Amino acid sequence: MRELKGLGPRLFRTWPMAGNETEAQEMGLAGMVFSMISIAAGAVMYWAVTSQGHGFRLSTVGVILMVVGAVGLVISTVIFATSRQQAGGRNRTYDRQVTDTQGRTAAVHEEVH
């Protein structure tokens, strides 16, 4: 049984956090809020600010903020969506065949909670 010791945890890791859905959800929500603020600030800079700086345009900075905010919103939404519990719950069972170093095979039934 010693040969099979390290197999389990590597097989069941999921992205982005292995066992901390709450932290991933909070990270996704915070990213969404930051992205929405970035989009709003960029929109104000693009459509409402009329003054010009020396060497740069505030409207260009506004467009950059809106694009960065949109990309951040998509990434945060993906992180939030993948960190949520699935409808069927977290309990899963796996049946697999394993072979040890001496060539013996065994059927393994694992329940992951």
Phi, psi of 30 (to 5 degrees): -65, -40
In a domain, 17, yes or no: no
Look at the chain and report how many structural domains it folds into. Answer: 1
User: What is the reported pLDDT for 86?
Assistant: 61
Residue by residue, pLDDT tens for the chain (113 residues) are 444 444 444 433 444 444 566 777 788 889 999 999 999 999 999 999 888 778 888 889 999 999 999 999 999 998 888 877 666 666 777 788 888 888 888 888 787 76
pTM above 0.75, yes or no: no
Which is nearest to 16 in space by CA: 90, 88, 86, 84?
Answer: 84
Q: Give me the domain span that covers residue 8.
A: 2-12+22-112
- Domain assignment present for residue 55? The answer is yes
